[in-house]
Structure 1
Amino acid sequence: MQCPSEGESSSSGSPSTTTSSRGDTDLDGEEKICAVCGDRATGYHFHVMTCEGCKGFFRRSVIKGVQFTCHFTRSCTITKAKRRQCQACRYQKCLDAGMRKDMIMSEQALRLRRALRQQKQHPEQTPTEEPSQETGLTAEQEQLIEILTEAHKKHFDSSFAQFIHYQPPVRLYIHSPRSRSPQDPAVPPLCPFSPQDHLESYPEEVLPDVFSLLPLFADLSTFMIQEVIQFAKAIPSFRSLPIDDQISLLKGATLEICQIRGNIIFNEETNAWNCGQHCYTIQDGALTGFQQIYLEPLLKFHISLKKLRLHEAEYVLLQALVLFYPDHVNVTQRDEIDRIQEQIALTLKNYIDQRHPLPEGRFLYAKLLLLLTELRTLKVENMRQILRIQHTQDLTSMTPLLSEIIS
């Protein structure tokens, strides 16, 4: 159950938040009670089930930094009727109940959260307001970038020097009523074809003699997935989550992170991915078994993302933003994951505002959000294509890790 964000209306409209923010009763019909004053609670706020009044009181007290004083013995009874009589004891009871000051967001962060959620709900809309300019990154944001960058550098080998154990391509010979021997010079040679070409468009008797890149794809996918897993494990906030949540986040994000990393090695002049000594194009993807319905949008996505000229820190933050996605069905620590994602999103926004001055940085953050929406659509089609290949090839035995990710 996702808890509503602090400072936001309980009627957010998001299916994942409606249950908790509606807050009158639990699923079993039991009424929710504020842990501070006993009033009817509206959901979890700052990590504790509270009413709107205590939520607002705690937030204002922390933001203003007010030092309250109890005029009695610091043991005042806090109820719905008496909660206004002693602010000191009410504030202390908020802390004793477990309300967390570190979960309180600034007004600027709240505005960013609202914009981010609106962009998720309406990805087709282009923001009409110009991004606000920040003076710089906070120490906490600088530390976040440092942690993520270190994890990325340690577990992303752009030279693919460690990718040494792979199977060679397998020669395929097409058998037809008019098949010839492999040595027959009349057999059409292997030749490149345009992205618009389809292997299915060839008559069976003139299908080109091709190499199957499926074994290589299997090993390459396993190699990249392993690197993504190690990247995630190197992030302290990821390791602190329950193991089931870690698995859910990895299953939901690994394929997308692989694409973001693929954009780092994408050559926009040749429209190819340079994996060390090897170079691959979408034509190779077609020979592997992927269809143009996936390959053409994939190429368009990489060209669009590459044109944004992202810095290494932005690529890293983008990977983390995809990793900490709180809307996966099976996650249990939805509030914490949501908080981490917002911290990453705000850091990315501030970094862009600082390092990409206008007009270069105009709507760059909004463009990234739109591309992330497109990337999620690509992931769905990618999984469908992999499952399709599995039905025709022995892909499961070749890539058990990939099969686990898409399960």
Structure 2
Amino acid sequence: MSTLAWFALGSLAVWGWLALGQGFFWRTDQRLPPTRRGHARGEAGVSGRPDPWPYVIVVVPARDEAEVLPLSLPSLLAQEYPGVAEVILADDGSTDGTGRFAADLAGRYGGLPLTVVSPGEPEPGWTGKLWALRHGMALARARGPEFLLLTDADIAHEPDSLRLLVSAAVANDLDLVSQMARLRVESLWERLVVPAFVYFFAQLYPFRWINRARPLATAAAGGCVLLRTETAVAADVPDAIRQAVIDDVSMARAVRRAGGRIWLGLAERVDSVRPYPGLGELWRMVARSAYAQLRHSPLLLVGTVAGLVLVYLVPPVALVAGVLGGDAVAAWAGGAAWAVMAGTYVPMLRYYRQPLWLAPLLPFTAFLYLLMTVDSAVRHHRGGGAAWKGRTYSRPEATS
């Protein structure tokens, strides 16, 4: 057999393992766990009276978010929560009047009480978001909530989102409940890149493995994290992860080390309203943290590039070259691997309500991600590091 045929067979074998042995990562059925009857807040307890709903404070770190706040903040203020809840927005050194604009929105829409705090520039060794979270969470803990909802400024919540999150946490005795917000998919580039972003994340951190009684993986999605206050204290969050660029995964690992139970799944009632209309915006979004995900390791970078080539690029190349060159084994194995790849991508496309003809284009999208990852490493070694909202973080993460 030809060398190309061997590579194609290797790719097909990897796809067989990914489809069946990687926690069924491609399935999209990990949604918010249901509340079992008799265990949800608001239902009759042992005394025959309803259990009180826990006190919750929503903490929103925000930096230069005046453009998206009208689409997100009112949804938090309008939460239909049966218990006591309030919102704290930590303005991370914004230059566009984010804090003042948030207060204006609260005055206009009403709803849950809003407090705006401005912690100032982060101290050395802190990322801006975690510095803002530190101050917002400290203020929240002083008020004694049972839960903290950590949610990004570009995340919009349906009116029952907070109630469903708390019900799931209480009913299932969870310390951290995180939902991967449904990202915006409107432009052509968003259609090509965004569903694949979530698909690749789930491939790295299979949700089923995270949600097992004996977990095989640990991760969270930073846009929407409901966290028990006592667990945050036990895990020393966010201080223990103050340098983390990929703060959501680092937070989940800190909570797991503290003995906390974690759940992660896809959202149905939580959406990101941040637009990424062009390839440039999406490129920067991925490249800012891709090399940090590889722990700034050149060896892991080489392995990742080789893996992406074998798994995503070899199948279409083998099929086309095999057909044109009369290599039946390469063509058959490459075509089969490409078919399995596209088939595993279909559920994510359906979740994002996208046309299924995008599934065979996954190799092209994977090639873009390969280039973004290499670019992330090049920026780091040139001293650029992870850049976001005018700040650059060149040092490795403190927590991995």
TM-score, normalising length: structure 2? 0.26
Return the TM-score normalized by structure 1. Answer: 0.25
Identify which of structures 1 and 2 has the higher relative contact order when contacts are C-alpha pairs closer than 8 Å and 6+ apart: 2
Larger radius of gyration: 1
